[in-house]
Amino acid sequence: MNTESQLIDGLPIKQIVEAILFASTEPLPVERIVECIQKEEVTSRAVLEVIHALNKDYQEQNTFLRIVKIAGGYQFATHPQFDKWVSRLFKAKMDRKLSQSSLEVLAIIAYRQPIARAEIEKIRGVNADWTLRSLMEKNLVTVVGREDAPGRPLLFGTTKAFLEHFGLYDISELPKLKEIEDILREDKEFAHTLELDFGMSNPAAENVQPSAKEDETPMPDEDTTLKPDSE
């Protein structure tokens, strides 16, 4: 009997997996789905086969649903062709736009993590206190440990929310820097979309200095010898 037609307590396993994923508000690792089913005969491989079968059904039925691999797990999502309309439902998230300086710091952390604030500032040449706090408030960056060096400076890394925000399963899926350059060079429409999504189209807005209150509160265990960052 095919895995996808298997019955669990009288119900098709496909419907059970589908219900679990539908009820979850965050991406579920395959192992977590197996735990929810609580049947020895249901393995991680079986769940993956069911997910593949469900996606095949959605494609053949030409529905708006897909099960996507993201942030270390699987989650329901709408087909990309509906993004234009679905995105209007989340206009409130426009307040979470990332400035040019935030994108730069986030990129450095994503590609060099775990990384200390001093190294970030060495790369950019400006103080990163305010930007780091802003990224932590948005739950895109978090403290992942301390460096084995004098003063034990904090080390920063990206979060699960970062993976979800950028549609990645894990950090290894980050595109190579050369690939990004090629994409932006060849796909002008995509580059324009990035500007709209992350508020990069207003240079004047990127040069606003942080307020004195924001500047005078450094990250813990760090000094502020560089000039203030622009946000």
Tell me which of 158 and 180 has the higher pLDDT.
Answer: 158
CB 156 within 8 A of CB 113: yes
Average pLDDT over residues 138-151: 90
Average pLDDT over residues 16-44: 92
What is the pLDDT at residue 231? 47
**CA-to-CA distance for 8 and 81, rounded, in angstroms?**
34
- Lowest average pLDDT, out of 76-90, 113-127, 206-220, goes to 206-220
What is the pLDDT at residue 180? 62
Helix, coil or strand: residue 1: coil
Nearest to residue 225, comparing CAs of 89, 65, 104, 117?
117
What is the pLDDT at residue 30? 95
- Report, at the CATH architecture level, how domain 3-83 is classified: Orthogonal Bundle (1.10)
How distant, in Å, are the alpha carbons of 46, 136, 146, 222, 226 from that of 219?
A: 47, 11, 13, 6, 13
Tell me which of 38 and 67 has the higher pLDDT.
Answer: 67
Residue 204 has pLDDT above 60, yes or no: no
**CA-to-CA distance for 214 and 81, rounded, in angstroms?**
41
Residue 107 has pLDDT above 80, yes or no: yes
Every domain of the chain and the residues it spans: 3-83, 97-215
Average pLDDT over residues 183-192: 56
Percent of the chain with pLDDT over 70: 71
Average pLDDT over residues 33-51: 91
What is the pLDDT at residue 187? 54
Q: Tell the burial category of 146 from Cβ atoms under 10 Å away from its Cβ (0-12, 13-18, 19+).
A: middle
Fold: same for 3-83 and 97-215: yes
Average pLDDT of the chain, as a whole number: 78
What is the pLDDT at residue 179? 65
Number of neighbours of residue 89 by Cβ within 10 angstroms: 8
- Lowest average pLDDT, out of 64-78, 168-182, 205-219, goes to 205-219
Instruction: Report the b/e string of 128-143 with b at 16+ CB within 10 A.
Output: bbbbbbbbeebebbee
Q: Is 0.85 surpassed by the pTM of this model?
A: no
The third-level CATH classification (topology) of the domain covering 97-215 is Arc Repressor Mutant, subunit A (1.10.10)
Helix, coil or strand: residue 185: helix
pLDDT tens per residue, range 29-41: 999 999 999 888 8
Nearest to residue 219, comparing CAs of 136, 140, 129?
129
